[in-house]
Amino acid sequence: MPDAKSDAERFMTKAIALARDNVLGGGRPFGAVLVMDGEIVSTGVNQVMATKDPTAHAELVAVRAAAMKLGRATLAGATVYASGHPCPMCLAAMRLAGITDIAYAYSNEDGAPHGLTSAALYADLRKPLAEQAMQFVYQPVRPDGEDIYEIWSARQRRQTPDA
């Protein structure tokens, strides 16, 4: 049976190699490897510059690829190895997908001198919503009295067989 530490090092080395190759190809220095049951399910590199998609971070590219490959949105039991400290968007997406194990090689502090840190965003998100850089406004508009949540719940009840 392979040594767990050597597997973790191998997966992290792969994430860093992806990041390095992405830089050499004109991208940002971020790579990610998504692993389940000791096997690589998917990989990703930061594609923000290439696609002009601000959500195309390495971790999200890997999560999307794994979900498509496995045919499901839940990736519980997966581990993500990321070259850099995942940003809040990536952490939230991984959490929504059920991923609870994340390892990274470069911290926000490592990236700060190079402008590669999400520390300020993390700091802003720790504030109450009213104090954050974004403005949040609750607008309870219900056209024609429709409640889309109620419509969804009713459909779910019809699709769920009685126990």
CA neighbor of 50 nearest in space, from 71, 22, 88, 72:
22
Cα–Cα dist 135/67, whole Å = 32
Could you confirm whether 9 is annotated as catalytic?
Answer: no
Token readout for 145 is 């009295």
Annotated active-site residue in 39, 59, 109, 146: 59
Q: Which of 89, 32, 84, 81 is nearest to 61 (CA)?
A: 32
Distance CA 75, CA 64 (A): 10
Triad 130, 117, 22: Cα angle to 5°: 130
Q: List active site positions.
A: 59
